[in-house]
Amino acid sequence: MPTKMIAGATVQVNEEGYMTNPAEWTKDIAIEMAKEEGLIELTPAHWNVIDFARQSAVQSGAAPTLRTITSNAGVTTKELFTLFPKGPAKKVARIAGLGKPEGCV
């Protein structure tokens, strides 16, 4: 399995760059992944969504879909697209150290 150096740590990733072992995730890795996604700073609103995604994945075993995030994380679809432009569910999953959400192309 491929690996990638992120924030000084070597982590396992798949061919699309999603981490394959959520236990390797740290907040420093999230900050670096966010920069790779074009997000210069993670605000408390970003962290709220990221934390929700990680908690949801622990319960369900998979990264949450856009609908799951907007229904349960206290953000509207418009707010989510503002926080994580152009593919928010995929960006949230990558930054949160989760696999690609089901249903995302």
Determine the Cα–Cα distance for residues 10 and 60; give it in Å rounded to an integer: 26
CB count within 10 Å of CB 78 equals 9
Is 104 in the active site? Answer: yes
Q: Which listed residue (12, 21, 85, 104) is catalytic? A: 104
Q: Is the Cβ–Cβ distance between 63 and 57 less than 8 Å?
A: yes
Task: Quote the distance between the C-alpha of residue 4 and its chain's center.
Answer: 16
Residues marked active site are found at: 104
